[in-house]
Chains A and B, each alone.
Chain A
Amino acid sequence: MPAVNPEAEGTRYPDVPFVVDTERVRAFRAVFGQAGGVPPTFLTAAEFSVLPQVIDDPALGLDFSRVLHGGQSYELERPLREGESLTVRARIDSVRVRAGSAFVVIAMDLFDDDDVPVAHARSTMIERASA
């Protein structure tokens, strides 16, 4: 049986600030040989600013040592700007159990200082069935 609790679906987590740090963007670009701009998958850094809350949520009970990343999608209302401060809001979009594995979709929205949406992310985490 999966460790994750299907009733955690719909859980919302407290806002977390996220800065599009120029040095970090530069390091990210360097990994992928990019010349300029903020790479679209840099949004993963924003997700990892809220993920500790999700992983440590006892009500969700995700066994992260058994988790694989199953899929990822990003939508950008506009490109991220280097140096800007944003707010990250995360929720558990869905929890499904199939063949002993749990599929947890974590949805994250990014907002600017005026609460205007900037980007959206959906991450599917697969908690593999225990051996």
Chain B
Amino acid sequence: MRRPLEQVAVGQELPDLRRVVTREDVQAYADAGGDHNPLHRSDEFARSVGFDGAIAHGMFTMGHMAACVVAWAGEADAVSAISAQFRATVSMGQEIVAGGRVRAIDTEARTAVLELWVSSERDGELEWPIKRGEATVRLGS
């Protein structure tokens, strides 16, 4: 069931969605998504190209952001556009938090534009694996 237009207001926040990124989940993502870059599996390879160890796919983080949107929108089919800019890498064992808020509503088209982000704390510093995420969601009646 899609979220009804009547239950949406500009400025409304989406509930945060948290997860700890594990090697097993990243491997399962690589298999399902088809991105087998060793950067996301091998610490040794990742170090050889200048990282501290294997990192999650940007698309893993974006998939998590999309899950936050789908949970709010009510169904996957409600999402008609989604975008992200990747600004920080995510290491194995790191917790990521997806969030967002309603930026605009089109009552005629029954759509909402959401601004989205994914934050993460690393060594006490707040980082933004995704900044300026955005999605367009079709609303129900």
**In B67-102, which residues have CB < 8 Å from any A CB?**
67, 70, 75-77, 79-86
Please tell me which one of the listed residues B33, B57, B67, B76 contacts residue A79 in the complex, with CB atoms under 8 A apart: B76
> Are B66 and A40 within 8 A (Cβ)?
yes
In whole angstroms, how far apart are the Cα atoms of A66 and B48 in the complex? 11
Total interface residues in chain A, CB < 8 Å: 33
Chain A to chain B contacts (Cβ below 8 Å), 18 pairs: A28-B63, A31-B29, A31-B60, A36-B75, A37-B75, A37-B77, A38-B76, A44-B35, A48-B35, A66-B49, A69-B86, A70-B85, A72-B62, A73-B83, A74-B81, A74-B82, A75-B80, A79-B76
Partner-B contacts on A (CB < 8 A): 24, 27-28, 30-34, 36-42, 44-45, 48-49, 64-66, 68-76, 79, 131
Partner-A contacts on B (CB < 8 A): 25, 28-29, 31-35, 37, 49-50, 57-60, 62-64, 66-67, 70, 75-77, 79-86
